[in-house]
């Protein structure tokens, strides 16, 4: 009995050894991968996992930080108490965080700024960014194709514009730009001077059109450069043609076309109004300013201004539609 148990043990041991010699012993791990392979794997990680990986060790942090990640939309928001982030990939929210510790928030922002390549970036800060040393002293730049500013003052807008790569194609400002001085500060920013499209919603002065045109004449802006503005005062159009009275090529109640110093380029100002958007002393006015080729014929002008007005005020036609629905309701009752 004793001998047979021992024999069985020996048999088992032999089997185990045989098995060990057949199955290779693996001891390869993440640390055995070259940086090139690690970077390929990091490229497949989602944002949350990248954040975790960069907390494991210094070496991993520097690798993770060297790898860009594409977001189709990012929203950075903040007030006196919190700092928040929402990041979207393929139109799906992939990361959302609200941090009460502002310092942690700016640290996270620094990382996102470093690795994020944004299709659309929305900046919405109610409090002043300029008071935060962490933000102001960070040299990193945002990479974004389009930028939208919600809320905040001109100093916030300028602080972010200064931290934006000059590859930006569109800047939309829905912040409080109230005075001519603030507008002048914006015009001094290189991204504003070079961006193909920018707009301001609800500017409170009437000097924006001629100032932008003057800047474009000075900077020899490219054909296609566009500025749009909605204004709640009445004399922007008038101020523009009066300012450029010596340069006027043509003028109607809807358009003014002026010469620039380049014989091949003209600047066209259009006033947006139609059966919905009307011109009136107390109504918001919509303008579009564009650099065009001098050869452009008047027959090539597009009279449909709805599309570009919607960029400035996406809800204006909704209001009209709802007005109409009331009209229809009246009709309905009349018919009854």
Partner 1 sequence: MSSTEQGTSSAAPAEPTTAPESAAAPEVPESFYYVHGKDKVVHKVSAGALQHSALIHGMISNLGYTEEQAKANPFPFENIDGDILQMVVDWCNQHKGKPTPPEDTNLPKQKEKLFDLVLAVNYLEIKELLTYCCKQVAMMVKGKSPEEIREIWMIPTDAEDEAAEKEAKKRAGKEAAGETAAAAGDAK
Give the burial string for 237-254 (b: 16+ CB within 10 Å, else e).
bebbbebbeebeeebeee
Q: Does 56 bind partner 1 (CB under 8 A)?
A: yes
Q: Does 28 bind partner 1 (CB under 8 A)?
A: yes
Q: Does 59 bind partner 1 (CB under 8 A)?
A: yes
Q: Does 215 bind partner 1 (CB under 8 A)?
A: no
For residue 285, what are the contacts with CB-CB under 8 A and spacing of at least 6? 230, 231, 232, 233, 234, 236, 237, 271, 272, 279
Nearer to partner 1, 28 or 297 (CB): 28
Nearer to partner 1, 46 or 323 (CB): 46
Nearer to partner 1, 38 or 211 (CB): 38
- Which segment (48-56, 120-128, 159-167, 324-332) binds partner 1 by CB under 8 A? 48-56
Q: How many residues bind partner 1 (CB under 8 A)?
A: 29
- Out of 11, 49, 126, 331, point to the residue binding partner 1 (CB under 8 A): 49
- Which segment (49-57, 65-73, 133-141, 148-156) binds partner 1 by CB under 8 A? 49-57
The strand pairing partners of 288, in sequence order, are: 228, 270
CA atoms within 13 A on the CB side of 33: 13
Q: Does 30 bind partner 1 (CB under 8 A)?
A: yes
Q: Does 320 bind partner 1 (CB under 8 A)?
A: no
As a whole number of angstroms, the distance between CA 176 and CA 160 comes to 15
Angle value at C-alpha 269, between 266 and 272, nearest 5 degrees: 150
- Out of 34, 91, 261, 299, point to the residue binding partner 1 (CB under 8 A): 34
C-alpha distances (whole Å) from 183 to each of 163, 178, 206, 229 are 19, 8, 11, 12
- Out of 13, 17, 20, 57, point to the residue binding partner 1 (CB under 8 A): 57
Give the residue from 295, 292, 273 showing the smallest Cα distance to 283: 273
What's the closest the beta carbon of residue 186 comes to partner 1, in angstroms? 42
Angle value at C-alpha 113, between 31 and 90, nearest 5 degrees: 85
Where along the sequence are the contacts to partner 1 (CB under 8 A)?
A: 24, 26-34, 36-37, 40-46, 48-49, 52-53, 55-60
């Amino acid at each position: 009995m004793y001998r047979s148990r021992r024999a069985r043990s020996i048999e088992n041991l032999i089997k185990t050894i045989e098995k060990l010699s057949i199955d290779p012993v693996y001891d390869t791990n993440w640390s055995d991968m070259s940086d090139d392979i690690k970077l390929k794997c990091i490229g497949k990680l989602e944002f949350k996992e990248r954040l975790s990986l960069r907390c494991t060790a210094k070496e991993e942090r520097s690798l993770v930080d060297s790898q860009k990640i594409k977001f189709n939309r990012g929203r950075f928001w903040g007030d006196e108490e919190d700092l928040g982030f929402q990041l979207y990939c393929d139109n799906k929210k992939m990361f959302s965080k609200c941090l009460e510790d502002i310092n942690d928030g700016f640290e996270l922002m620094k990382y996102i700024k470093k690795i994020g390549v944004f299709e659309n970036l929305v900046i919405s800060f109610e409090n002043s960014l300029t008071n935060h040393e962490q933000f102001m002293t960070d040299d990193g730049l945002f990479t974004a194709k389009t930028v939208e500013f919600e809320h905040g003052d001109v100093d916030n807008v300028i602080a972010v514009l200064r931290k934006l790569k000059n590859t930006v194609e569109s800047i939309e400002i829905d912040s409080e730009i109230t005075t001519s001085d603030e507008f002048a500060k914006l015009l001094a920013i290189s991204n504003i001077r070079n961006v193909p499209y920018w707009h301001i919603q609800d500017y409170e002065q009437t000097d924006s059109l001629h100032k932008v045109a003057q800047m474009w004449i000075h900077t020899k802006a490219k054909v296609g450069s566009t500025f749009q503005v909605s204004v709640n005062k009445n004399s922007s159009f008038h101020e523009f043609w009066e300012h450029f009275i010596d340069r006027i090529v043509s003028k109607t109640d809807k358009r003014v076309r002026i010469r620039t110093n380049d014989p091949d380029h003209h600047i066209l100002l259009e006033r947006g109004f139609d059966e919905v958007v009307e011109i009136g002393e107390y109504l918001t006015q919509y303008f579009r300013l564009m650099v065009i080729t001098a050869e452009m014929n008047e027959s090539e002008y597009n009279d449909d201004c709805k599309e570009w007005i919607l960029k400035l005020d996406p809800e204006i036609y909704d209001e009209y539609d709802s007005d109409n629905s009331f009209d229809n309701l009246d009709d309905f009752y009349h018919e009854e």
